[in-house]
Amino acid sequence: MAIMIDGKSLTLAQVEAVARRGEKVSLTEEAKAAVNKARDYVEKKLAEGAVIYGLTTGFGKFSDKFIPENETAQLQRNLIISHSCGMGEPLPTEAVRAAMLLRCNALSRGHSGIRLSTIETLLAMLNEGVHPIIPEKGSLGASGDLAPLSHMVLVMLGEGEAEYRGVRMPGKEAMAKAGIPTIELAAKEGLALINGTQIMTAVGSLCVIDALDLMKTADVAAAMTAEAQLGIKAAFDHKVHDVRGHQGQKDSAANLLKLLEGSKLALRTQPDKVQDAYVIRCVPQIHGASRDAINYVKAAVEREINAVTDNPIIFPDEDEVISGGNFHGQPMALAFDFLGIALSELANVSERRTERMVNPALSFGLPAFLTKHGGVNSGFMIAQYSAASMVSENKVFAHPSSVDSIPSSANQEDHVSMGTNAARKCRMILDNAQKVLGIELVTAHQALWLRKEEGRGDIAPATNAVYDLLETRIAPIEEDVVMYPNLKAADELIKAHAVVPAAEAVCGKLN
């Protein structure tokens, strides 16, 4: 059954289903009625000769130029072709699909004045797999994602390029192969299609979806490292975290206790030490802060995917057309910068945990670099280097985009959000964080294998389930091997959201 959209009730789970699994999408009857009502209002205003930004005027600095009715179609086409200034590599197909969905959802609220047939053309492209080639660079994230969204609309006009059934081709050819007629834009429609935050929100929404899984994966990795480090579970006691009160901290601590239930390596107290280093003892505080940040961004994104971000906004019932600023990406720019910082910290502390496992001065009896025959073998020495490299790179990416602004359109658009840059950086940080945590999982797998060899006791049932999952892709290392396939395998398991379910199948649902 198709996902029904009305501009008000779209969920992140539905975004993922459409973007990654190709679910079909349709408009509700309520949405169709709202769209038609707004379009009728636009036609009425056009017939009256009303002066309305974007309908009968130019755009940006040209907003003081009146456009006669016989030139409005040319105005809309020129808007799209002149604004198609994107550069760089194409956005991933999943991000393009998410952006198409979000734009249709925003238009379906009935405040944009677009024709129903135009929305249905974009929905047909989404459902038939005509994916416009959208360069990832070129948006200021202020008057909407103008440049990248213009590339989306080009294909609707029979211009630009698209991917259809895995093949890149001219947009006109892709539309013909899919059996979708190209269109000519009517008054207001070009502006309605490109004046919005859907590119940044599409990229950022997918980051949020993966971040929600990664924050749990980070707890799993930390639990395995805590066992390898003969950790002290008392630091995770709920009483410690209740007296501070941060929800993310409390949730992470509860996860660690659940994951470590039954471990013979990580104990409530250890006879040979009083406390662990911060990267073990303070996991709830560190991971918890990132959790709270991720959940803040999730809430902001859930609002934005159901928001009207057009301009001008049409209110047929009030007989008003208001030129406002909902296209401005600042709410998303700040959120995605925050998300990037939160994910950077998950990677930062993960690399330090990896270091403790490979460093014989810090590993409580594990062999140097987790190899039994050091010297001729380097073991996990360079795996930690790789993690450190990506953590360092994340520190560069984590510099916020939202603190920058370069005025545009002859200073009419004199503060811009750079929100799409923030979302794109967040995607790069996410990829690095997934890889760094993958390295920790592979390292912990080796360390726990060595603990088993020592006969020190069983690991917890939940972490053992993840250990077994890793063993389906990698094997313990006796002698040096080509290492990157093992690291890549762990990264793939994380990206497939496979790690958390393996643990939850044993210990129950994690927070």
Query: Residue 71's pLDDT is what?
Result: 73
User: Considering all CA atoms of the chain, what is the largest pairwise distance in Å, rounded to the nearest integer?
Assistant: 86
- Strand pairing category for 130-132 and 161-164: antiparallel
CATH number of the domain where residue 75 is located: 1.10.275.10
CB 7 within 8 A of CB 105: yes
Q: What are phi and psi of 114, to 5 degrees?
A: -85, 155
* SS3 of residue 377 by DSSP: strand
CB < 8 Å & 24+ apart, contacts of 70-76: 72/46, 72/186, 72/187, 73/184, 73/185, 73/186, 73/187, 75/187, 75/190, 76/185, 76/186, 76/187, 76/188, 76/189, 76/190, 76/191
Query: Residue 405's pLDDT is what?
Result: 86
Q: Are residues 158 and 245 in the same domain?
A: no
CATH number of the domain where residue 435 is located: 1.20.200.10
Mean pLDDT, residues 150-170 taken together? 97
Cβ burial of 485 (10 Å; 0-12, 13-18, 19+) is exposed
**pLDDT tens string 383-423:** 999 999 999 999 999 999 999 988 888 787 888 888 999 99
Q: Are residues 208 and 128 in the same domain?
A: no
Residue 184: pLDDT above 80? yes
**pLDDT tens string 472-505:** 999 999 999 999 999 999 999 999 999 999 999 9
Q: Are residues 139 and 245 in the same domain?
A: no
**pLDDT tens string 207-254:** 999 999 999 999 999 999 999 999 999 999 999 999 999 999 999 999
Domain boundary among 159, 178, 196: 196
Range of the structural domain that residue 413 is part of: 204-507
Nearest in space to 244 (alpha carbons), one of 291, 278, 285, 296: 285
Q: What are phi and psi of 27, to 5 degrees?
A: -85, 145
Both tokens assigned to 236? 């995770």
How many domains does the chain divide into?
A: 2
CB 218 within 8 A of CB 287: yes
Q: What are phi and psi of 371, to 5 degrees?
A: -120, 140
Higher pLDDT, 456 or 43: 43
Catalytic residues: 53
Cα 416–Cα 420–Cα 421 angle in degrees, nearest 5: 90
Query: Residue 129's pLDDT is what?
Result: 97
Both tokens assigned to 298? 């999730």
Q: Are residues 305 and 340 in the same domain?
A: yes
Mean pLDDT, residues 98-113 taken together? 96
Q: Are residues 209 and 358 in the same domain?
A: yes
Contacts of 162 (CB under 8 A, 6+ apart): 130, 131, 132, 133, 155, 168, 169, 170, 171, 174, 175
Neighbours of 257 (CB within 10 A): 17
Distance CA 286, CA 228 (A): 19
Q: Are residues 117 and 224 in the same domain?
A: no
Residue 63: pLDDT above 70? no
Residue 56: pLDDT above 80? no
Q: Are residues 210 and 192 in the same domain?
A: no
Distance CA 34, CA 373 (A): 72
Higher pLDDT, 367 or 65: 367
Distance CA 461, CA 151 (A): 51
Query: Residue 272's pLDDT is what?
Result: 87
Contacts of 403 (CB under 8 A, 6+ apart): none
Query: Residue 58's pLDDT is what?
Result: 61
Q: Are residues 253 and 368 in the same domain?
A: yes
302, 307, 309, 313 alpha-carbon torsion, rounded to 10°: -170
Angle between helices 146-156 and 171-178 (to 10 degrees): 50
On average, the pLDDT of the chain sits at 94
> Residues, the chain, total?
511
Q: Are residues 487 and 436 in the same domain?
A: yes
Name the helix (H) or strand (E) containing 484. helix 484-495
34 pLDDT tier (thresholds 50, 70, 90): very high
Higher pLDDT, 66 or 102: 102
**pLDDT tens string 288-334:** 999 999 999 999 999 999 999 988 899 999 999 888 999 999 999 99
Lowest mean pLDDT among 72-76, 114-118, 136-140, 345-349: 72-76
Mean pLDDT, residues 29-35 taken together? 97
Q: Are residues 291 and 433 in the same domain?
A: yes
Q: Are residues 284 and 265 in the same domain?
A: yes
263 pLDDT tier (thresholds 50, 70, 90): very high
Q: Are residues 75 and 209 in the same domain?
A: no
* SS3 of residue 463 by DSSP: helix
